[in-house]
Amino acid sequence: MPGAIQSLSRAAAILRLLAGGERRLGLSEVATGLGLAKGTAHGILRTLQQEGFVEQDPESGKYQLGAELLRLGQSYLDVHELRARALVWADDLARAAGETVYLGVLHQRGVLVVHHVFRPDDSRQVLEVGSMQPLHATALGKVLLAYDPVARGELGGGPWEAFTARTVTEPAALDAQCALVRERGWADAVEETWEGVASVAALIQDRRRNPVGAVCVSGAVETVCGPDGAVRPALVASVRTAARAISRDLGAHRF
């Protein structure tokens, strides 16, 4: 494969840099942060600004991400086939389970949330579409790891960050869990990401049985798990049924 276009790669790096730092960044910060000459960085920033990908605070002259990115991100969701077909199933699942539902796809070294159905009560919740979750510490992630060798390979050999005392941080333990996931056909994560939160996830496949994403139910450990500490079987069944339904939906129109 021939090389990438230099200016484009650099522009992407600038956008990621701006996305990473919480606050706005100045021209010099951007330039030194990526090892570019000031003039070079300025040329790229100027173009990105004209296109709406970057905005400049007129007061301080510092740069931040632009609104066009939000619009394009929304367009990504609009054409996302998996998400479109999963919408109604995810809604039903949330209703039946009485819990939050996430739909995630593999992206870089994490799980990107492409759909999020609020728990059906009146509590205040923030939408997490577009956010990333760790592969090794979530039910969504472990499902994708179990069925996607490439993802497992890219994750490397740990040890990984521990979010709680129950986070799996060692490769051997994670691989054992993945084997279990493949055997059972579903993954759980009880207090591995946040204290008090438990999740169940199952795989979504396309028409050729390739893993394309995962669906997950997440909620308070008291409601997701039974008195024995294990995930309630009825919930597992709901999640697996939903995953199968979405997978079937993805393949149905093929012939």
Partner DNA sequence: GAACACCGGTCGGCAACGCCGACCACCAGG
Partner DNA sequence: CCTGGTGGTCGGCGTTGCCGACCGGTGTTC
Q: Which stretch binds DNA (CB under 7 A): 21-29, 66-74, 99-107, 215-223?
A: 21-29
Ramachandran sector of residue 137 (left: φ over 0; alpha: ψ -120 to 50; beta: rest): alpha
Does the footprint of a copy of itself cover residue 37 (CB under 8 A)?
A: no
Task: List the one residue from 65, 96, 180, 221 that touches a copy of itself (CB under 8 A).
Answer: 65
Spatial distance between the Cα atoms of 30 and 77, rounded to a whole number of angstroms:
29
Residue with tokens 């054992």: 176
Task: List the one residue from 30, 53, 144, 214 that touches a copy of itself (CB under 8 A).
Answer: 53
Q: What is the largest CA-CA distance in the chain?
A: 63
Spatial distance between the Cα atoms of 156 and 142, rounded to a whole number of angstroms:
14
CB atoms within 10 A of CB 68: 14
Buried b (16+ CB within 10 A) or exposed e, 136-145: bbbbbbbbbb
Q: Which of DNA, a copy of itself, none does 38 bind, CB closer than 5 to 8 A by kind?
A: DNA
Check whether the bond before 159 is cis (ω within 30° of 0): yes
- Helix residue spans in the chain (DSSP H): 6-20, 27-34, 38-51, 67-79, 81-97, 139-147, 149-155, 171-184, 221-224, 233-252
- Minimum distance, C-beta of residue 11 to DNA, in the bound complex (Å): 8
- Minimum distance, C-beta of residue 110 to a copy of itself, in the bound complex (Å): 9
Does the footprint of DNA cover residue 23 (CB under 7 A)?
A: no
Does the footprint of DNA cover residue 54 (CB under 7 A)?
A: no
Does the footprint of a copy of itself cover residue 130 (CB under 8 A)?
A: yes
Does the footprint of DNA cover residue 29 (CB under 7 A)?
A: yes
Site string for a copy of itself, 96-125 (x = CB under 8 A): ---------x-xx---x-x-----x-x-x-
CB atoms within 10 A of CB 210: 9
Does the footprint of a copy of itself cover residue 32 (CB under 8 A)?
A: no
Task: List the one residue from 13, 36, 87, 129 that touches DNA (CB under 7 A).
Answer: 36
Q: Which is nearer to DNA, 34 or 87 (CB)?
A: 34
Site string for DNA, 56-95 (x = CB under 7 A): x----xx---------------------------------
Q: Which residues bind DNA (CB under 7 A)?
A: 1-3, 5-8, 10, 26-29, 36-40, 42-46, 56, 61-62
